[in-house]
Amino acid sequence: MRQILIPVLALWSSLCGGMSLADGGPVARIGESGEFLELEYQVNGQRSKDSLPLYGADGIRYFSAGVGIEERSAEYPPFSLKLVFTAGGKPFLAGVAVTIQSAKGGPPINIPRDHVKGPWLFVELPSGTYHLTAIHADRTQGLKGVKVEAGKMKTVHLRWPEDGESAASSGEAVGQ
């Protein structure tokens, strides 16, 4: 057993790029200016910082993440909606334009594709029910009746079929 465990741990350590999780792993915090998220992590014992843009539309804040191991393993502020984009056999998808409409009506929240640099989109919505429309490469996915609660994160997966797939699958909401 021990002969197997040591090589497996060595492989895992090398795949993580020497990232230290001893301090609890990467953490993202909203910067003082409120215009970005500060992502702090350790690589090979050295503390590093990156920043992710924090956008706003009609009083709703949002940001995109999920690129690289540091972003995928980070702890993020508790935004009420997390969208995860995938396509066919590809694990992740970026460059998705999103429209969020309250079921009660009112102006929609439009998030342009150039704001979605990663496969995850976090949106800080007030409690309520929303209809989502997401467009990637002129293909649309829609999902109605997504209920979110402030302070609790709702994760929604939106998957586009690969070219040649016959059935388009719709989004699926996962409560967390």
Tell me which residue has tokens 């895992």: 12
More confident residue, 172 or 69: 69
> Which of 82-86, 89-93, 117-121, 126-130 bottoms out in mean pLDDT, i.e. has the lowest?
89-93
Pair of tokens at residue 33: 């200016």
For the chain, the structural domain boundaries read: 2-175
Q: Evaluate if residue 19 carries a pLDDT over 80.
A: no
**Share of residues in the chain with pLDDT > 90 (%):** 49
> What is the band of 36 on the pLDDT scale with cuts at 50, 70, 90?
confident
Of the candidates 115, 127, 133, the residue with the CA atom closest to the CA atom of residue 153: 127
For the domain 2-175, what is the CATH superfamily, name and number? Immunoglobulins (2.60.40.10)
Q: Which residue bears the tokens 């388009």?
A: 168
Compute the average pLDDT of residues 94-103: 96
The reported pLDDT for the residue numbered 163 is 58
- In terms of Cβ atoms closer than 10 Å to its own Cβ (0-12, 13-18, 19+), residue 148 is buried
Query: Per-residue pLDDT tens for 47-74?
Result: 888 889 999 988 899 999 999 888 998 9
pLDDT digits (tens, 9 = 90+) for 127-150: 999 999 999 988 999 999 999 998
**DSSP-based three-state secondary structure for 10:** helix
Q: Which of 167, 166, 145, 164 is nearest to 156 (CA)?
A: 145
Q: Give the separation between CA 160 and CA 8, rounded to whole angstroms.
A: 35
Return the pLDDT at 47: 87
So what's the pLDDT on residue 116?
Answer: 96
User: What per-residue confidence (pLDDT) applies to 125?
Assistant: 96
Average pLDDT (4-23) is 36
Distance of alpha carbon 79 from alpha carbon 165, whole angstroms: 33
